[in-house]
Amino acid sequence: MGAPAPSLVLLLALILAASAPALAATPPAGLSLDQPLRQGQLVIGHSAPGARISVDQRNLRVDDQGRFVFGLGRDQSRVSLCVRLADEAKARCAGLPVAPREYAIERVDGLPQGTVTPNPAEQARIEREAALIAKARERNDPRSDFAGGFVRPAKGRISGVFGSQRVLNGEPKSPHMGLDIAAPVGTAITAPAPGVVTLVHPDMLLTGQSVIVDHGHGVSSVYIHMSRTDVVEGQELKVGDPIGAIGMTGRASGPHLHWGLNWFEVKLDPALMAP
């Protein structure tokens, strides 16, 4: 068969364009957002108490003040928001664009190859430990500790940024999904926001001594490569409470804190919340 006629190609393009939901300039009436919609952003919003809100068909928890939160992934290009107030029969929805970002490329050479490509036993251990982390991030606690914002959990030099593509020994790896703060071993790590400790692990293969703190509504933070942990699971934290100390446990090339922020499984940029 020959190539399709230009008129047929144009018709198909028009049909596809018409079937795709149009992007709106503003959120649907009945809600407001505190942060811009950009990749890696934690977004806090407000509506009326009792409102039903969803993001990309995922129902959100709305607190008694009408506050809700969601996260935008590293490569997300659009988001669908729906709101239905308590006295309404039908939801209002809008598809909104997510502002793109440019990400750096970080090259790290001279690493032992065993630290770049795990053997089968190591891979099995990595998967077991990843399951523990995923379980801690599944929580949808009614606390709204995220709403007060975040401060940086440690003092030091920023040695790694969110979203950067890492090339290890010339081999492209997954993007870096957190903020690295380099400082001497033993430098204090403190809580950047109130929360409850949901995971303390003494020795994960990749991340070493690791802690996860839940801040409510699916928002959690992670602290890894620590030399010491000063918390236990179930412990309530307020801003500034000790979590542990910077180290280089796990697969770390030097002493630093990797600080990560999540909305459920979506990895976010901590620097956008604590510049």
Rounded to 5°, the CA angle 86-89-93 comes to: 90
Q: Tell me which of 56, 78, 97 is where a domain ends.
A: 97
Q: Strand order of the sheet with strand 78-84?
A: 58-59, 52-55, 78-84, 92-97
Q: How many domains does the chain have?
A: 2
- Domain presence at residue 11: no
Q: Are 92 and 199 within one domain?
A: no
Cα–Cα dist 220/233, whole Å? 14
Residues 73 and 135 in one domain: no
Co-location of 71 and 168 in the same domain: no
My answer on whether 135 and 263 are in the same domain is yes
79 and 209 assigned to the same domain: no
Q: Which CATH number covers residue 242?
A: 2.70.70.10
Judge if 92 and 124 occupy the same domain.
no
Structural domain contains residue 132: yes
Q: How far is CA 1 from CA 4, 5, 41, in A?
A: 9, 11, 48
Q: Is 215 exposed, middle or buried (0-12, 13-18, 19+ CB in 10 A)?
A: buried
Map residue 156 onto helix, strand or coil. Answer: coil
Confidence of residue 274 (pLDDT cuts 50, 70, 90): very high
List pLDDT tens digits, range 102-142. Answer: 998 988 888 777 777 889 999 999 999 999 999 999 999 99
E-assigned strands of 164-240? 165-168, 171-172, 179-182, 188-190, 195-204, 208-216, 219-229, 236-237
Is residue 162 one of the residues assigned to a domain? Answer: yes
137 and 58 together in one domain = no
Q: Provide the pLDDT for residue 9.
A: 44
DSSP string, 40-67: T-EEEEEE-TT-EEEETTEEPP--TTSE
Element (H, E) at 7: helix 6-19
Residue 60 covered by a domain: yes
pLDDT at 275: 85
Q: Are residues 213 and 128 in the same domain?
A: yes
Phi (first) and psi of residue 13, to 5 degrees: -65, -40
- The mean-pLDDT minimum among 22-26, 62-66, 97-101, 159-163 falls in 22-26
- pLDDT digits over 221-250, tens only? 999 999 999 999 999 999 999 999 999 999
Query: What's the mean per-residue pLDDT of the chain?
Result: 91
3-state secondary structure of 12: helix
- CATH number, position 35: 2.60.40
Determine the structural domain holding residue 157 and report its residue range. 105-273
Residues 135 and 265 grouped into a single domain: yes
Partners of 171 in the beta sheet?
168
Residue 253: its pLDDT value, please?
85
- Which domain-ending residue is among 40, 70, 97? 97
Establish if 118 belongs to a structural domain.
yes
Please check whether residue 7 lies inside any domain of the structure. Answer: no
**Token pair recorded at residue 202:** 């003494």
Give the residue from 97, 132, 165 where a domain finishes. 97
Do 88 and 31 belong together in one domain? yes
Residues 91 and 135 in one domain: no
- Considering the domain boundaries, does residue 222 fall inside one? yes
Judge whether 5 lies within some domain.
Answer: no
Q: Same structural domain for residues 24 and 88? A: yes
